[in-house]
Amino acid sequence: MKILNEIQITQKIKRLAYEILEHNFEEKSITLAGINNNGLYFAELLHAQLKEITDIPINLTQVTLNPASPNTSEVIIGQDLKELNRKAIIVIDDVANTGRTIFYAIKPLLDILPKKIEVAVLVDRKHKSFPIKVDYVGLSLATTLRENIDVHIQDVEEMAVYLK
């Protein structure tokens, strides 16, 4: 079942960009850290929208990890951690389910002292097992544990989010 179509996703990206700007308007720069493929692509969409509405430098980086087993391999951030010291960082993913992927994505940032770390997702499910608070949410859903969220935003004819 389709729960978000392309128009709705585009509207949510615009709204999230304004929310991010409202909460970070005094920052000298903002870094968007997209998790893996869909998280990075969602971060790119937010990056493009933010560039349209602010002159604040918006940096983009990728966080790479194994979501199925995040504690068995290194979490890699696509830029030097020293550059993120005392900066506003927004960790971005397409879906927050248990919070595990986001929790481990933040792990390398604990080696520095960021000014703040916030989280943005397109879809937030209410099944948190990890201490993750999502700051910017496109759509919040209460689902059963058996249901899945399938996000199609990259390399598709039409963006959409499905509940399966």
One DSSP character per residue, 83-110 reads GGTT-EEEEEEEEESSSHHHHHHHGGGG
pLDDT at 143 over 90: no
70 confidence band (pLDDT: 50, 70, 90): confident
| Whole-number pLDDT of residue 5 | 97
Pairing of strands 76-77, 2-4: unpaired
Mean of pLDDT values over 148-158: 92
Q: How far apart are CA 85 and CA 88, in angstroms?
A: 9
| Whole-number pLDDT of residue 127 | 81
Mean of pLDDT values over 24-45: 97
Query: Both tokens of residue 152?
Result: 């199609």
The answer to whether the pTM exceeds 0.75 is yes
128 confidence band (pLDDT: 50, 70, 90): confident
**Which domains are present in the chain?**
2-163 (3.40.50.2020)
| Whole-number pLDDT of residue 153 | 95
32 confidence band (pLDDT: 50, 70, 90): very high
Pairing of strands 76-77, 88-96: unpaired
In this structure, the number of other CB atoms found within 10 A of the CB of residue 93 comes to 29
Nearest by Cα to 98 from 68, 125, 66: 125
pLDDT at 151 over 90: yes
Query: Both tokens of residue 117?
Result: 């770390």
What are the angstrom distances between the C-alpha of 12 and each of 16, 34, 137, 139?
Answer: 6, 17, 9, 8
The percent of residues in the chain predicted with pLDDT above 90, rounded, is: 87
- Of the candidate ranges 40-44, 91-95, 126-130, 136-140, the one whose mean pLDDT is the lowest: 126-130
Nearest by Cα to 89 from 126, 136, 154: 136
Arithmetic mean of pLDDT over the chain: 95
Mean of pLDDT values over 80-87: 95
| Whole-number pLDDT of residue 146 | 86
pLDDT at 96 over 90: yes
pLDDT at 145 over 90: no
